[in-house]
């Protein structure tokens, strides 16, 4: 038995030594890749916690991508050490990736759109947004879908490509919103009295912002009424309560001031039958 082992060693010693060397080198590369991947992941988390440049949802994704990239590079080095033709392997992986990409183009478009939403951040979790006629509070932004909750409590999962391809209206981003309170008064009422009523209401409402200052104006002259308007700004958290209260107060104040809020009306001219005959008679 010992003689056989010695014979085997003499015949294959160079191969065994070379294989052992390559194996030790591959293990060293694998350990180094693991350490580098962990350090890179930790560096991404620490850097963003200090600079706060990226959305928190994006950090785990970037960290995972960076880790996998390190492992892939390490795997290529290991295959090269064992004599595998990495050039042809990379070409094969590239061709397979192209085929998979064409088959999953819609899914990949959602991933690309999700990355753009996470990087550019037109909105974040908690914002109230509108896109393509859909409104709701953003609950979650993932690589594939954006999760919304509508005002009436519905759950909406919108593909990221649909969100990204539409104009996105963010009602929360600026921290304030403008409300337009419109009321119609009669043509026989003095316009200055109506504007004065709106001014008094604006001055007495402490939830309205002073900058920009509230404005009152004649908006339009309709068929049955002169529309006057109060434009004012409020913080997002005060917007709806203030808007509803002001509508009620404006209606009551207009009536207390002796002004009229007219109903839509139309004037009819009744023509007697003899007048119709006179109109039809030849001249």
CATH code, domain carrying 85:
1.10.287.1260
* Residues 67 and 125 reside in one and the same domain: no
CA of residue 124 relative to chain centroid, distance: 6
Token pair for residue 249?
A: 């107060």
Mean pLDDT score of the chain: 82
Give the sheet arrangement for strand 215-221, strand by strand: 176-185, 226-235, 215-221
Determine the pLDDT at residue 64. Answer: 75
For 128-148, how does the pLDDT look when each residue is reduced to its tens digit (9 = 90+)?
999 988 999 999 887 788 999
What's phi and psi for 183, nearest 5 deg? -140, 145
By C-alpha distance, which of 194, 235, 186, 229 is closest to 211?
235
* Residues 137 and 223 reside in one and the same domain: no
Asked if 214 contacts 202 with a C-beta cutoff of 8 angstroms, the reply is yes
Task: Show the domain range for 207.
Answer: 176-256
Comparison of pLDDT for 257 and 73, the residue scoring more = 257
Element (H, E) at 40: helix 2-51
Tally of domains in the chain: 3
pLDDT band at 112 (very low <50, low <70, confident <90, very high): confident
Determine the pLDDT at residue 168. Answer: 94
User: In whole angstroms, what is the distance from residue 171 CA to residue 39 CA?
Assistant: 39
Determine the pLDDT at residue 69. Answer: 83
For 199-248, how does the pLDDT look when each residue is reduced to its tens digit (9 = 90+)?
999 999 999 999 999 999 999 999 889 999 999 999 999 999 999 999 99
pLDDT average, residue stretch 159-184: 93
Residue 220 lies in a domain: yes
Q: Is the peptide bond before 212 cis (omega within 30 degrees of 0)?
A: yes
- pLDDT exceeds cutoff 60 at 104: no
Residue 35 lies in a domain: yes
* Residues 36 and 54 reside in one and the same domain: yes
pLDDT average, residue stretch 172-184: 94
Determine the pLDDT at residue 65. Answer: 76
* Residues 241 and 162 reside in one and the same domain: no
Residue 107, helix vs strand vs coil? helix
- Tell me, what CATH number does 235's domain have? 3.30.70.100
User: In whole angstroms, what is the distance from residue 69 CA to residue 43 CA?
Assistant: 15
State the pTM of this model.
0.61
Residue 265, helix vs strand vs coil? coil
* Residues 24 and 95 reside in one and the same domain: yes
- pLDDT exceeds cutoff 90 at 120: no
Comparison of pLDDT for 88 and 282, the residue scoring more = 88
Residue 183, helix vs strand vs coil? strand
Element (H, E) at 164: helix 160-165
pLDDT band at 8 (very low <50, low <70, confident <90, very high): low
**Which residues on adjacent β-strands are paired with residue 235?**
176
- pLDDT exceeds cutoff 80 at 116: yes
The percent of residues above 70 in pLDDT, for the chain, comes to: 75
Asked if 271 contacts 214 with a C-beta cutoff of 8 angstroms, the reply is no
Residue 111 lies in a domain: no
* Residues 71 and 55 reside in one and the same domain: yes
């Amino acid at each position: 038995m010992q003689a056989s082992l010695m014979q085997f060693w003499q015949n294959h010693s160079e191969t065994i030594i070379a294989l052992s060397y390559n194996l030790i080198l591959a293990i060293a590369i694998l350990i180094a890749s693991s350490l580098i991947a962990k350090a890179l992941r930790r560096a991404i988390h620490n850097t963003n916690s200090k600079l706060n440049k990226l959305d928190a949802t994006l950090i785990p994704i970037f960290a995972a991508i960076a880790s996998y990239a390190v492992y892939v590079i390490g795997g290529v080095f290991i295959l090269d050490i064992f004599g595998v033709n990495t050039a042809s392997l990379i070409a094969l992986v590239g061709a397979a990736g192209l085929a998979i990409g064409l088959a999953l183009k819609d899914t990949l478009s959602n991933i690309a759109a999700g990355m753009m939403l996470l990087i550019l951040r037109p909105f974040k979790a908690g914002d109230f947004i509108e896109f393509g006629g859909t409104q709701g509070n953003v609950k979650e932004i993932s690589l594939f879908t954006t999760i919304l909750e509508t005002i009436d409590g519905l759950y909406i999962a919108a593909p990221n490509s649909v969100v990204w391809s539409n104009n996105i209206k963010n009602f929360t981003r600026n921290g304030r919103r403008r409300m337009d309170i419109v009321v119609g008064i009669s043509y026989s009422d003095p316009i200055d009295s109506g504007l004065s009523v709106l001014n008094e209401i604006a001055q007495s409402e402490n939830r309205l912002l002073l900058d920009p200052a509230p404005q009152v104006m004649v908006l339009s002259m309709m068929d049955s009424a002169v529309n006057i308007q109060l434009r004012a700004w409020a913080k997002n958290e005060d917007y709806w309560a203030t808007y509803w209260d002001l509508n009620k107060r404006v209606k009551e104040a207009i009536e207390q001031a002796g002004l009229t809020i007219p109903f839509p009306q139309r004037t009819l001219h009744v023509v007697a039958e003899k007048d119709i005959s006179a109109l039809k008679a030849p001249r």
